[in-house]
């Protein structure tokens, strides 16, 4: 299999992974798989020959279209992660504010007994 076909295959695998709905519990696994595929693509891009045959040029056109789709899907995935991080941060801040309300009430004081 030539380098362009391998690049196309790796890009298709990335797109396939990102098209499916990703559960939060499985997100780390998906991230690892995408990283591995991106590393594989990087290595294949370095092996890409300078002159291409007509067949490789046709595969290259398909590759460019898939690459655009993969970039869009990766951006969406990143936005979902950023939204989740923002939500976690807001939740943490709300919990901290709630805890701070009761921290200020722990002031040393005196108890006056009005009974004689």
Residue whose tokens read 């701070």: 100
pLDDT > 70 in the chain, percent = 86
Please give the pLDDT value at position 59: 87
Does residue 110 belong to any structural domain of this protein?
Answer: no
Distance CA 52, CA 74 (A): 28
Instruction: Please report whether residue 63 resides in a domain.
Output: yes
Distance CA 18, CA 31 (A): 10
* 37, part of any domain: yes
- pLDDT tens per residue across span 60-99: 899 899 999 999 999 999 999 999 999 999 998 888 777 7
Chain segment 9-20, per-residue pLDDT in tens: 999 999 999 998
User: pLDDT-based confidence at 101, cuts 50/70/90?
Assistant: low
At 49-62, the pLDDT tens digits run 888 888 888 888 99
CA dist., res. 76 & res. 70, Å (int): 10
Share the mean pLDDT of the chain: 85
pLDDT over threshold 90, residue 22: no
Higher-scoring residue by pLDDT: 48, 36: 36
Assigned domain for 95 exists: yes
Number of domains the chain is built from: 1
In-domain check, residue 108:
no
Does residue 116 belong to any structural domain of this protein?
no
Q: Is residue 40 part of a domain?
A: yes
Question: Does residue 64 fall inside a structural domain?
Answer: yes
Q: Which domain covers residue 69, as residue numbers?
A: 3-103
Question: Counting beta carbons within 10 angstroms of the beta carbon of residue 7, is it exposed (0 to 12), middle (13 to 18) or buried (19 or more)?
Answer: buried
């Amino acid at each position: 299999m030539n380098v362009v076909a391998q690049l196309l295959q790796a890009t298709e695998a990335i797109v396939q992974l990102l098209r499916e709905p990703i559960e939060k519990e499985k997100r780390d696994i998906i991230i690892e798989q995408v990283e591995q595929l991106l590393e594989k693509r990087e290595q294949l891009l370095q092996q890409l020959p300078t002159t291409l045959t007509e067949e490789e040029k046709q595969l290259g056109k398909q590759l460019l279209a898939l690459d655009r789709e993969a970039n869009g899907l990766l951006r969406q995935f990143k936005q979902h992660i950023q939204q989740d991080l923002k939500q976690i941060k807001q939740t943490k801040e709300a919990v901290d504010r709630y805890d701070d309300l009761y921290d200020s009430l722990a002031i040393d004081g005196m108890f006056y007994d009005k009974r004689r």
